[in-house]
Amino acid sequence: MNITPGYFVSLPHEQALSTTLYIHYGISCALNAVALYCLLRKTPDYMPSVRSYLLLIQTTMMLNDLVGDVLVQFVVLTPAVGFYCFGVVCRDGIPVNVPLALFVALGCLVAVGITMCFVFKHQTVVPETSLFKLNKLFYKLLHVGAWSACPVGFIVLLVIPMDYNVSDRAMNTYPFHLQWIRDRGSYYVYEKTDHIRVAGVIMIAGLAIWLLISNLIVWHVYYILNQILIVPSIFLCVPIIATTIATVADFGNIDMGQVATHILLLHTPIHSIILLAITPVYRTFLRSCQLTSEKIPAASVASVTLGHSRGIAISERK
């Protein structure tokens, strides 16, 4: 079998990648647990609406990690338009559009949650007379349309026909060997047509515009919220934009796709760390936990020392 360097993932490399994803999932779960506890129990009464959005984003990120790190475990075949997966659900031979639909729909929910959180906070501080104040009906329609896009996209990807004969023929259109993915799990490869390239350019432009607008819209009105959301949105968009550019422009290799995937999956722990680090009430809670944990060993040593000294005193009296 003629393997082109940079376009092949060996079994040991795949196992190492799987182990890395499991470790990432464990760390992310621990951070998510602390973040959820703070959101549910330590959030001040004056920010319940923002908490609802942050809870939705945090929960969706947890599900996204479960799908990406455990159930699916994607390998993007950059610069080819395709992927294969070797996670738990991909080993049982289920249709490839099921894990793809799950992953895309959850990523869409995260993006919509971030956007709607920005819009909500922006609308609470914009004066009623401002040109940027949205009409109440339009605001409700925006909510309905944005949240509807995710389940609609999930259903479309779920029911769209996936012809493996077309996928196998598409493999032969690339100058490097890809037939080895047939033995690795669920897979699908698209032929890189002009329509695919145009769709890639539109996707790059759309993500860049979303990233710019969503992070500038409230920069001047709510700095802390912007810090909480800007980094996860960057970790979400930048790797997708980079791999799409590589795919459209025909450069890079599978290693680039793997790096982008790891960066993409980092958005959950990074979001949790920033949320806990820059929100004053959560930061105070974590410091109090640290002080409590430091006092417990000291108190234990003191009690042991006191008990020992009392024992000596009793022995001397006898």
Q: What share of the chain has pLDDT > 90, as a percent?
A: 11
Identify the band that residue 302 occupies on the pLDDT scale cut at 50, 70 and 90.
very low
Average pLDDT over residues 246-268: 86
* pLDDT for residue 316: 44
The tokens for 293 are 């944990």
Q: How far apart are CA 265 and CA 8, in angstroms?
A: 22
* pLDDT for residue 301: 43
In a domain, 309, yes or no: no
**Residue 227 belongs to what domain range?**
11-278
* pLDDT for residue 46: 66
Q: What is the CATH number of the domain that holds 152?
A: 1.20.1070.10
What number of H helices and E strands is found in the chain? 10, 3
> Cα 214 from chain centroid?
17
* pLDDT for residue 183: 85
Whether residue 160 has pLDDT greater than 60: yes
In a domain, 301, yes or no: no
User: Which residues are CB-neighbours of 87 under 8 A, at least 6 positions away?
Assistant: 18, 70, 71, 72, 73, 99, 185
More confident residue, 218 or 258: 258
pLDDT digits (tens, 9 = 90+) for 49-107: 778 888 888 898 899 899 889 988 889 998 899 999 888 888 776 788 888 888 888 88
* pLDDT for residue 27: 94
- Amino acid type, 310: R
Whether residue 305 has pLDDT greater than 80: no
Whether residue 45 has pLDDT greater than 60: yes
* pLDDT for residue 36: 92
In a domain, 57, yes or no: yes
In a domain, 303, yes or no: no
* pLDDT for residue 306: 44
Q: How far apart are CA 302 and CA 255, in angstroms?
A: 55
Q: What pTM, to 2 d.p., does this model score?
A: 0.79
* pLDDT for residue 16: 92
Q: What is the mean pLDDT of the chain?
A: 81
Identify the DSSP state of 190.
Answer: E
In a domain, 284, yes or no: no
Average pLDDT over residues 252-263: 86
In a domain, 53, yes or no: yes
Domain count for the chain: 1
* pLDDT for residue 262: 85
Whether residue 225 has pLDDT greater than 80: no
**If you average pLDDT over each of 37-46, 63-72, 157-166, 297-306, which comes out highest?**
63-72
**If you average pLDDT over each of 121-125, 129-133, 258-262, which comes out highest?**
258-262
Torsion of CA 97, 214, 110, 27, to 10 degrees: 120
* pLDDT for residue 198: 92
